Amino acid sequence: MKTIFLLRHAKSSWKDQSLPDFERPLNRRGRQAAETIGRYLRAKEIVPDLVLSSTAVRARETIEIVVKTAKWRTEVRYDERIYEAGAMRLLAIVSQIENDRKTVLVVGHNPGMEEFLQLLSGKIEQIPTGGLAKLVLKTSKWLAVLDKKASLEWLIRPREVEDG
């Protein structure tokens, strides 16, 4: 069995219109959402074997906050191919993961994350900023991910798990 968590970066800031898309940071709400997801993962005792993240500023900031809040010591790899990746590129990236890694968290962007979820599970779901989906595959090899239909276990939104 392999498990893939798909995390869309948290809400980014449009305050500085001169910044290229790649360099947009998180806004206050985005930082709070990333902390919320980190607390959720810690409470559920979810710790991936590997994190693969886009190199875009907002994705890097999202996973840095999640890792710190969840208190993970997990390996985080930043991969520039994830930025603006569609479903097939994400599939190629995931298929190269070492087979000893059973649980992986991918941090990326829409529309690619939603397309990837649909490709793997056949489900059409909206992943909002900060949204986290859990997909389970009945396979022992990451290379076989496309051949196996993933089951979408759940999809959470930060506002659904906020404190209070």
Asked if residues 95 and 81 have their Cβ atoms less than 8 Å apart, the reply is: no
Task: For 43-97, write each residue's pLDDT tens digit.
Answer: 999 999 999 999 999 999 999 999 999 999 999 999 999 999 999 999 999 999 9
pLDDT category of residue 164 using cuts at 50, 70 and 90: very low
Domain formed by 2-11+23-161, architecture: 3-Layer(aba) Sandwich (3.40)
- Would you state the pLDDT for residue 147? 82
Domain boundaries, the chain: 2-11+23-161
Query: Could you tell me the two tokens for 152?
Result: 């979408």
At 69, phi and psi to the nearest 5?
-70, -40
Sheet holding 75-78, edge to edge: 75-78, 50-53, 103-108, 2-8, 132-137, 151-156
Q: Which amino acid is at 90?
A: L
pLDDT category of residue 149 using cuts at 50, 70 and 90: confident
Task: For 94-132, write each residue's pLDDT tens digit.
Answer: 999 999 999 999 999 999 999 999 999 999 999 999 999
First to last CA, the chain: 35
Query: Distances from the Cα of 20 to the Cαs of 14, 17, 48, 122, 128, in angstroms?
Result: 10, 8, 31, 33, 21
Distance separating alpha carbons of residues 61 and 10, to the nearest angstrom = 9
- Would you state the pLDDT for residue 42? 97
> Which residues are CB-neighbours of 108 under 8 A, at least 6 positions away?
6, 7, 8, 9, 53, 54, 59, 82, 83, 85, 90, 116
